[in-house]
Amino acid sequence: MNAALRARSLRRAYFRFALALAPAAGVVWLAWNGYALGAALLFCTVLTTMMIGTLVPRCALFGRMIKQLPQAGNEVLLTIDDGPHPQHTPAILDLLDQHGIKALFFLIGERAAQHPQLVRDISARGHEIGNHTQTHPAGTFWMLGPVRLWREIAGCQEALTALCPEHPPRFFRPPAGHHNLFTALFANALGLKMMLWSARGFDGVLTDVPAITQRISRRLEAGAIVLIHEGTPVAVEVAQSVTALLEGSGLKCIPPASLALRDDEVVVERRAAP
Residues belonging to the active site: 81, 229
Q: What does DSSP assign to residue 81?
A: E
Distance, CA of 213 to CA of 228 (rounded, Å): 10
Q: From 108, 113, 137, 157, select the one nearest 9 (Cα to Cα).
A: 157
Q: From 170, 53, 57, 162, select the one nearest 106 (Cα to Cα).
A: 170
Distance, CA of 194 to CA of 105 (rounded, Å): 14
Q: From 108, 58, 57, select the one nearest 80 (Cα to Cα).
A: 108
Backbone angles phi, psi at 232, to 5 degrees: -110, 165
Number of Cβ within 10 Å of residue 74's Cβ equals 13
Angle (deg, nearest 10), helices 116-124 and 146-163: 70
Q: Any idea what the Cα angle at residue 141 is, between residues 179 and 197, rounded to 5°?
A: 45
Q: Let me know how long the chain is.
A: 274
Whether omega for the bond prior to residue 146 falls within 30 degrees of 0, making it cis, is no
Q: From 168, 131, 194, select the one nearest 257 (Cα to Cα).
A: 168
Pair type for strands 104-107 and 128-131: parallel
